[in-house]
Amino acid sequence: MSLVLYAHPFSSYCPKVLIALYENATPFEWCVVGTPKVDVELEALWSFKRFPVLVDDGRAVRESSIIIEHLALRHPGPVLLLPDDPRVCLDVRFMDRFFDNYVMTPQGKFVYDALRPAERRDPYGVEEAGRLLDHAYRWLDIHLRDREWAAGDTFTMADCAAAPSLFYADWTYPIADEFAALKAYRQRLLA
């Protein structure tokens, strides 16, 4: 078994996969994207040059959620990131998508906008992203009031998605104090 992960430590979706690997103490080789040699290898694996990409026994697996599902099938560990019960698994997958689409994507608007030249910035897009994050924070605060983790009582793929999403989102668009359950959940993830 030889797993190779093409990733960058500052990429918003790479920590999601790294958390899954570390939670189960799954051995892997990390190829840090951003050097000419590694970038050429990455492009050969995925012409879009997006990461993370996991190579498992010569097979390229792309996209963070799919990589975690692949790991659960091919390299399961003591932490079941995808529960055996298919109904519970739907909740996990929903929360995984929620964090990617309603937290990580809008927080990225703030980052990408700040990196643009001043004359190319998108104040309307950033304002719209802030409204979406406000809505997501409010929904999450209610959703998390009676649970320890995103999809229930155990740590899952949903929490792998939540950790980097909320880590970066709180930096770019702070979670208001009124969302105590969400703030407490973020602290559990950081711990």
Amino acid 126 reads V
Separation CA 187–CA 174 (nearest Å)? 14
Amino acid 173 reads Y
Structural contact between residues 82 and 95, judged by C-beta atoms closer than 8 angstroms: no
pTM across the whole model = 0.94
Structural contact between residues 22 and 79, judged by C-beta atoms closer than 8 angstroms: no
User: ∠ CA(120), CA(123), CA(129), 5° rounding?
Assistant: 120
CB atoms within 10 A of CB 63: 18
Q: Would you write out the chain's pLDDT as a tens digit for each of its 191 residues?
A: 589 999 999 898 999 999 999 999 999 999 999 999 999 999 999 999 999 999 999 999 999 999 999 999 999 999 999 999 999 999 999 999 999 999 999 999 999 999 999 999 999 999 999 999 999 999 999 999 999 999 999 999 999 999 999 999 999 999 999 999 999 999 999 99
